[in-house]
Amino acid sequence: MPASSAAQPSTVHVAVAVICHQARYLLGFRAAHQHQGNRYEFVGGKIEANETPIRALCREVHEETGIVIDNSPKRKLGRLQHDYGDKRVCLHVYEVRLDAVQYAEHQHQAQGLEGQTLTWVDKEALIAGRYPLPAANATILAWLELPSVITISYPLSAFATARDPMQAWLAHHERLAPKTAVYLRLQTDVAAATTAIDTLLHLRPDIYAIVPHTVHAATREITHLNQRTLLAWQAAPDSVDIDSERPLLLSCHDEASIDAANQLAQQRLNNGLSPVVGLLLSPVCATQTHPDASPLGWAAWSALAARADVPVIALGGLHPDMAEQAADYGAYGVAGIREFQPALII
Ligand SMILES: Nc1nc2c([nH]c(=O)n2[C@@H]2O[C@H](COP(=O)(O)OP(=O)(O)OP(=O)(O)O)[C@@H](O)[C@H]2O)c(=O)[nH]1
């Protein structure tokens, strides 16, 4: 995987394996004498010269736990640089899924091969911060919270022929499945979008809301920035007012915007602001929504995704069932409009 953000010469590159089976995650415990000692950690270690991050990941996991992950599904989460003051690290982070046989074999292994304590923990407790980890890991936990299937709302214009388009937009999105993660993109004026989103979330508080940064909705989990805004930020950071408290999801379509996304992600880390948790990279395939945009195809999509320092969600002509296929190309998850929600009835 090419490292896109320039690391300082003294940076230690580390392969980090977020090993899981369903909602159980494996943690080691760092001995008191180690850097960031007396904390839990994900299994991992230094990437040797001439070693790819994936190769180092497999080697470290085997050396530290005896688990062979060469053929296990690996999902790229991201890369992040962190300056501990006494040491600067660049963590290359992958989620590694063990199958039922591997889990059964290792779930009671209380000690690693280097004598370290091993513990399987529930994702909920991990995310809630019940296991103290090195400071850099806060971003990894934020990445793990990003839903891997994202529905994109229909724009208001899709209901233009209805007697009351806004009412029709609400009635449609009220029918979304429980706890759906939705990027609420109405493509209408800010005041109308704000009212619609506030009304929907009042009716459906279970929805995990991703809201455009221009919209002043009362609640949201994540703030979304489109590519135009991202590039405007890169050209003149003070010209764009970006939410400092909520995690960010960015939209990208090319190399230049991915570089801008990496720059914003690192700037947020350096300034202790809530992180960039992912990007939507599109279009993979041709779509009815954007018939003029030329699709990237999986090969080009995959090369662009590898450039990103944060989890990448594939978008464009996909179906929710394609998450596994997308993961083979380096995707963290999939997003879409028509295949991801009830059929449109106007
Ligand atoms: N393995 C692992 N290392 C992490 C995590 N988070 C994090 O910041 N690190 C940092 O990444 C570096 C890991 O390198 P390492 O495992 O090869 O080094 P070490 O300090 O444990 O031992 P060593 O230098 O004696 O080999 C450490 O500086 C550690 O603090 C994590 O979740 N897992």
Instruction: Report d(CA 225, CA 96) in Å as an integer.
Output: 29
Convert the pLDDT of each residue in 270-283 to its tens digit. Answer: 999 999 999 999 99
Atom of ligand 1 nearest to the CA of 30: 21
- Residue recorded with tokens 């109308």: 192
Q: Could you give the C-alpha distances from 237 to 62, 226, 241, 270, 331, in angstroms and in order?
A: 44, 15, 8, 15, 28
Pair 41, 133: CB distance under 8 Å:
yes
pLDDT of residue 9: 53
Q: Enumerate long-range contacts of 52-56, CB under 8 Å, 24 or more apart.
A: 52/1, 53/1, 53/13, 53/15, 53/92, 53/94, 54/1, 54/15, 54/94, 56/15, 56/92
Maximum alpha-carbon separation in the chain = 70
Written as one letter, the residue type at 292 is D
Instruction: Report d(CA 345, CA 166) in Å as an integer.
Output: 14
The CATH class, in words, for 149-340 is: alpha beta
Q: How far is the CA of 13 from the centre of ligand 1 (A)?
A: 9
What mean pLDDT is reported for the chain? 94
Q: How far is the CA of 35 from the centre of ligand 1 (A)?
A: 7
Q: Superfamily assignment of 12-137 in CATH?
A: Nucleoside Triphosphate Pyrophosphohydrolase (3.90.79.10)
Ligand 1 neighbourhood includes 36 CB (under 6 angstroms): yes
Number of helices (H), then strands (E), belonging to the chain: the values are 10, 15
Q: Whose CA is nearest to atom 9 of ligand 1?
A: 134
Q: How far is the CA of 45 from the centre of ligand 1 (A)?
A: 6
Convert the pLDDT of each residue in 121-176 to its tens digit. Answer: 999 999 999 999 999 999 999 999 999 999 999 999 999 999 999 999 999 999 99
Q: 147-157: b or e for each residue (b if 16 or more CB lie within 10 Å)?
A: bbbbbbbbbbe
Q: Could you give the C-alpha distances from 26 to 22, 111, 126, 143, in angstroms and in order?
A: 11, 12, 10, 16
Q: Residue 248's closest CA among 261, 232, 235?
A: 261
Q: pTM of this prediction?
A: 0.93
Bridge partner residues of 280 (DSSP)? 251, 313
pLDDT of residue 84: 94
- ipTM computed for the complex: 0.94
Q: How far is the CA of 110 from the centre of ligand 1 (A)?
A: 20
Ligand 1 neighbourhood includes 34 CB (under 6 angstroms): yes
Positions of the chain with pLDDT under 70: 1-9
Ligand 1 neighbourhood includes 87 CB (under 6 angstroms): yes
Q: Give residue limits of the domains in the chain.
A: 12-137, 149-340
